Chain A
Amino acid sequence: MTVVADGVAVVDGHLVVERAGFRLDLRLRVAPGEVVAVLGPNGAGKTTTLRALAGLVPLTGGHLAIDGSTLDRPATGTFVRPERRPIGVVFQDYLLFPHLSARDNVAFGPRCHGASKQRADEIAQQWLDRVGLADLARRKPRQLSGGQSQRIALARALAIEPALLLLDEPLAALDARTRMDTRAQLHRHLAEHRGATLLVTHDPLDALVLADRLIIIEDGRVVQEGDAATITAQPRTDYVARLVGLNLYRGKGSGHTVVLPDGFGIAVDDTVDGDAFVAFGPAAVSLFLARPDGSPRNCWPATVAGIQRYGDNLRVELTGPIAAAADITPAAAAHLRLETGQSVWAAVKATETRAYPAR
């Protein structure tokens, strides 16, 4: 994106990894100090991306350079082994060495980079201080909680002062409460990290809180890229729409109407022509027992396919001419006596929709 001016990117790569039934093809630039989140469903290639950057999986095509030096370029046979890359990794389940104390885990990297035992211990102690775990230096990993392990793993990866820090689902292994605290701390540490950071996650909240920029991948390809505001406002695939909690449709726009492939027309406020997306939030959908009258509304008969708790509200999955999710209050649900299989009328105001070109 625009933040990355030419020549100052830490990471400059075109990652191509091909194996049976899967192809990752991802162009990637990350600037110093920038935090990029790679978001995608399971099997999209998130972990492969991370492993290719770390050198744990060789590229089969494309290239990767960090700080201007080429680490992997199959065409010329260049491949730099993981231990020679300026990259730190925080693994999903941390992989703290079980036989080493917290301090020795953190000192492991500096030791391998040529620091004396004493110097490595000093560096480790500093990092333990920074993550607030100095008093647990002698503990073995099995004596640490999940949140503590996560912080030790972060300290261990940062102790080698990597040009690029990789985080694999950094908060996925934590319970909800620990997660919030750890997320805030992680945010602070990433802000202090002068190198580039790339994290892969399937949790949109982690991505939104931690990252400056999101890259969303599906089936090994980038489907959308940009800052959080752009992506949440204008999702471009069903996955992204679900991720940010929007109903999303694609059709042909002409003026204030977008006609979906099956002929269903949606009235919109924006003016669009040609291939276009229409998005609206579940809260914008109202449900009625009988067809509502008046007002320039989108209105269609639907069937309740499922009802789930969603925060303080209920999320109602609707089938019909278009599939949609509607958020309604429990009071409204009680008034409508909603149950699965029931027929209702759904309505969305044109002013509550957003329409934007698909190309």
Chain B
Amino acid sequence: MTGPRAPADVLVPAEAAAGPRRGLGVRAPAVLLIPAGLAVAFLVLPLAGLLFRAPWSTLPQRLAEPGVLTALLLSLRTASLATVVCVVLGVPLAWLLARVRFPGRRVVKALVTVPLVLPPVVGGLALLLLLGRNGLIGRYPYQWFGYSIPFTTTAVVIAEAFVALPFLVIAVEGALRGADDRYEEAAATLGASRFTTFRRVTLPLVAPGIVAGATLCWARALGEFGATIMFAGSFPGTTRTMPVAVYLTLETDLDGAIVLSLVLLLVSVGILVSLRDRWVSSA
């Protein structure tokens, strides 16, 4: 019984997956050890600096400032909504890419990964051109209902989903490819329609992969800045998410920006760790 394993690597640290190797005595050559050590320092030191420079004495008052909580709640809400959008749209797409041979599949697959390499600011501009008041699609809700998508909370969710969707699709597609599709054949021989098979067999089998993908997707959405500020702007309470607030606060108040960053760091690490623990205990 080989369960879907690939997505586990995303969340389980390499040393946990490799298991104890005591006694083998692999001595790392300095040529590898030094850059590896530098890499760790490079990743950890900035965060340590953040903690070091934090205005601990005034922290409680600063956290209590209304703008902080508003931005945090907005960020959590939009990132979660964006994740829901990504799961609803992305899981079927991942299934299609993993299970169905259709013409142009490679092209679709390549297109899906574009937001991954595209600078988010460019993505934001593209969304603005498509969904803005004069945009190809955006003009219709504006003409018909007077509704303009940009610079709303909806726009934040759209921008975050745009940037985060590839993470989910790639993770779930990997999980689907790793899952044994003969279970789906077995379901078919028992009379399950293709949708029933998807719902009752495929989805449960790749659930860990979907959780892993959704987590990555959520983390990416939570940190989204470029596309959001282009497409949704920075209105307190509606579009000023935590990353945007960090950037704007920095211009006037360094300590305030540090506090916001700390909160963001804490929330994302907290969520990742709690999900990882669940994953590890269920494995």
Q: How far is the CA of A113 from the CA of B189 in the complex (A)?
A: 11
How would you classify the secondary structure of chain B's contact residues: helix, strand, loop or mixed? helix
B187 and A108 within 8 A (CB):
yes
B190 and A108 within 8 A (CB):
yes
A54 and B1 within 8 A (CB):
no
Of B193, B200, B207, which is within 8 A of A83 by CB?
A: B193
Chain B residues, CB < 8 A from A91: 182, 186
Closest residue on chain B to residue A159 by CB atoms: B190
Closest residue on chain A to residue B182 by CB atoms: A95
Take A98-B1, A108-B200 as given contacts and tell me if A160 and B190 are in contact as well, using a CB distance cutoff of 8 Å: yes
- Scan B147-190; emit 1 where CB is below 8 A from any A CB, else 0: 00000000000000000000000000000000010110111111
A82 and B185 within 8 A (CB):
yes
B189 and A112 within 8 A (CB):
no
Q: Is B37 an interface residue (CB 8 A)?
A: no
Interface size of A by CB at 8 A reads 26
Q: Is B205 an interface residue (CB 8 A)?
A: yes
- Scan B186-217; emit 1 where CB is below 8 A from any A CB, else 0: 11111111101000110011010000000000
- Scan A42-81; emit 1 where CB is below 8 A from any B CB, else 0: 0000000000001110000000000000000000000001
Q: How far is the CA of A160 from the CA of B188 in the complex (A)?
A: 12
Take A87-B189, A108-B187 as given contacts and tell me if A97 and B201 are in contact as well, using a CB distance cutoff of 8 Å: yes
Q: Is B3 an interface residue (CB 8 A)?
A: yes
Closest residue on chain B to residue A112 by CB atoms: B191
Of A56, A91, A98, chain B has the most CB atoms within 10 Å of the CB of: A98
Q: Is A170 an interface residue (CB 8 A)?
A: no
A95 and B190 within 8 A (CB):
no
A98 and B187 within 8 A (CB):
no
B193 and A54 within 8 A (CB):
no
Of A82, A98, A113, which is within 8 A of B188 by CB?
A: A82
Chain A residues, CB < 8 A from B193: 83, 112
A89 and B186 within 8 A (CB):
yes
A81 and B188 within 8 A (CB):
yes
Q: How far is the CA of A81 from the CA of B185 in the complex (A)?
A: 11
The residues of A with any CB-CB pair to B shorter than 8 Å are: 54-56, 81-85, 87-89, 91, 95, 97-100, 108-109, 112-113, 141-142, 156-157, 160
Chain A to chain B: the 4 pairs with minimum beta-carbon distance, closest first: A112-B191, A109-B190, A82-B188, A95-B186
